[in-house]
Structure 1
Amino acid sequence: MFQVYCEFNRVVGQGLRENFFDALDRFSPSLMDLFRKKRGLTGQILTDLLHKTKVNEPTHIRCLILRGLPVILGDDPSAFFRNCSDVNDNGLYSQTAVGILCMDEENSTPLNPSKVGIILEGSVVMDNLANLPQAFCLLFGLIYALHLDYPKYMKNTFNFVQQLPAALLGFKRASPRHGISHGNPEISCCRHGNHDAAVRSGAMRMADSRSSRTRSRNRGIKGHGGKA
């Protein structure tokens, strides 16, 4: 664990754990507000997550944000968060390239499982981690340290999470595979102190982009059918 933090610091020039959680906590209220405003199926899923969240428990709020972001950004959290009751039952995650293993036990909840591990290339490389946010933070560091690609089924979420500490602290360096665009409007907004507006803008822009692509595909399908 310590080695992951050290390598991230070497690559990026910033501390991982402190900056990751500071940024996550700083922007959680704005993201929770955005979750509450969503409608349709996405809104139903987010409402269910909100109902499971203990708002006076910081770890629960962090879990909510990390669970809710892939929903609102159009990723596939079911391919990333893999549930099992026994870490040795690798048939449930052997095909998972990058993910978090949530080990269910009595009194655990899907939002904040009692035991958590990290999956890389179908194997658990870390287990018995304290909680889901810690696992996500360490996985983020491993991706940088090992120069891995973000998994396609969670690419939007990782790209967005990457911008949170960058927006708050102005990260200057990034992994060669995941360069941060300092010219985007969210980063510019944050440089002028409008952090909450930047996060809301970034999440809404990515969610709207996903909706636009879906509408375009639907129009294409209808048009093709009409010609036939």
Structure 2
Amino acid sequence: MEKERIELLTAIKRRNNDKVIAEKMAHTFAYRRQEVVNEEPGIEDFKDRWPALFQQKEINAEFLRLMALPLEQTFFAQLDRLSSQLIKVIKAKGGATRAKIAGIMRIYDEVEDIGIRRECVLKGLITFLGEDPEDLIKEYSGSCGDDAQMDLKQLTLAIFVIRKKGEGLEESPEDIGIVIEGVEVLHDLTSVASACALLLGLIYALNLAYPKPLRFTFEVFQKIFMQLDQHKMSPKVQNLFGRLQTSQ
């Protein structure tokens, strides 16, 4: 298995080599999983040892091996299926939360881009749950690249979004990626929703805990979107789940 892992390091450097990489990643799954669970390696070291895992295709493949469930496909399908009910529930929230959500929902109503609309629903959901979207999604202006890089190195787990100076949520960003333990593990992603799904997949693949400030958000991702362990919901998520069922 160690020989296979070393061969993977060479295979990933070759172009148009996805089939070989996929076969070797599947073959070394149990070996890699044992390392993750028993040794709890740091992300930087683990990325050096298993760089192929930190690719969009392989995160999806690893999640499928772990949970027998397609990752991004399921996440997007459930998010889209529940969006109209989620928006109804989110908009019904009162107090200061309503004002925060209003700006997000205004953009949702104005744009047609599916990626941006999904991002609005996710940000509205996080706000509805009493958590802060900025704890998950870190936004930077393209003109402050060095400052962004310094900031990202301090983050434990986050999605970063680089936008052109002066552009808001209505415009597609220049770059979207994921940082874990200060290490940029993915970039050039197509949308924030894709980054959320892939981050969930990485949490499973790397056996990580959900960040406490976002525990309800990730519980919704897991139990409502991915429909995993639904019998053990927190009261807050159970309440949301019940409201979504009754609003269908």
TM-score, with normalisation over the residues of structure 1?
0.71
Where does 1:96-115 land on structure 2 (aligned, <5 Å)? 96-106=155-165, 108-110=167-169, 113-115=173-175
1:71 is aligned to 2:127: yes
1:58 is aligned to 2:118: no
Counterparts of 1:92 and 1:83, CA distance in 2: 11
- Identity over the aligned pairs, expressed in percent? 27
Q: Using the TM superposition, give the Cα deviation of residue 105 of structure 1 relative to its aligned residue in structure 2, in angstroms.
A: 0.9
Structure 1: which 5+ runs fail to align?
172-179, 190-195, 203-228
Count of aligned residue pairs for this structure pair = 183
Match of 2:184 among 124, 139, 143: 124
Residue 78 of structure 2: aligned partner: 23
- For 2:196, the aligned partner's letter is F
1:81 is aligned to 2:137: yes
Change (3 A) 1:123 1:166: closer
Change (3 A) 1:110 1:185: closer
Residue 244 of structure 2: aligned partner: 200
Counterparts of 1:199 and 1:119, CA distance in 2: 33
Counterparts of 1:8 and 1:49, CA distance in 2: 31
TM-score, with normalisation over the residues of structure 2?
0.66
Match of 1:11 among 42, 66, 76: 66
Change (3 A) 1:199 1:37: closer
Change (3 A) 1:75 1:59: same
Counterparts of 1:109 and 1:162, CA distance in 2: 29
Residue 57 of structure 2: aligned partner: 2
Counterparts of 2:159 and 2:226, CA distance in 1: 23
Task: Name the SS for the 1:109 alignment partner.
Answer: coil
Residue 218 of structure 2: aligned partner: 158
Match of 1:139 among 199, 208, 217: 199
- For 2:137, the aligned partner's letter is F
Listed one character per residue, the Cα deviations across residues 153-172 of structure 1 (whole Å, up to 9, x for unaligned) are 111100011122344xxx4x
Counterparts of 1:41 and 1:185, CA distance in 2: 23
Q: CA RMSD in A?
A: 2.7
Change (3 A) 1:118 1:185: closer
Q: Using the TM superposition, give the Cα deviation of residue 59 of structure 1 relative to its aligned residue in structure 2, in angstroms.
A: 1.8
Contact 1:117/1:135 (<8 A) preserved = yes
Task: Name the SS for the 2:185 alignment partner.
Answer: strand
Match of 2:231 among 182, 188, 201: 182
Contact 1:8/1:16 (<8 A) preserved = yes
Contact 1:81/1:100 (<8 A) preserved = yes
Counterparts of 1:121 and 1:97, CA distance in 2: 4
Q: Using the TM superposition, give the Cα deviation of residue 58 of structure 1 relative to its aligned residue in structure 2, in angstroms.
A: 2.2
Q: Using the TM superposition, give the Cα deviation of residue 38 of structure 1 relative to its aligned residue in structure 2, in angstroms.
A: 1.5
Change (3 A) 1:44 1:201: farther
- For 1:67, the aligned partner's letter is K
Structure 2: which 5+ runs fail to align?
1-55
Q: Using the TM superposition, give the Cα deviation of residue 128 of structure 1 relative to its aligned residue in structure 2, in angstroms.
A: 1.4
Change (3 A) 1:15 1:159: same
Residue 52 of structure 2: aligned partner: none
Listed one character per residue, the Cα deviations across residues 30-61 of structure 1 (whole Å, up to 9, x for unaligned) are 01111221221100010010111245432222
Counterparts of 2:243 and 2:64, CA distance in 1: 24
Change (3 A) 1:199 1:63: farther
Counterparts of 1:157 and 1:184, CA distance in 2: 12
Counterparts of 1:73 and 1:201, CA distance in 2: 17
Counterparts of 1:43 and 1:60, CA distance in 2: 20
Change (3 A) 1:199 1:129: farther
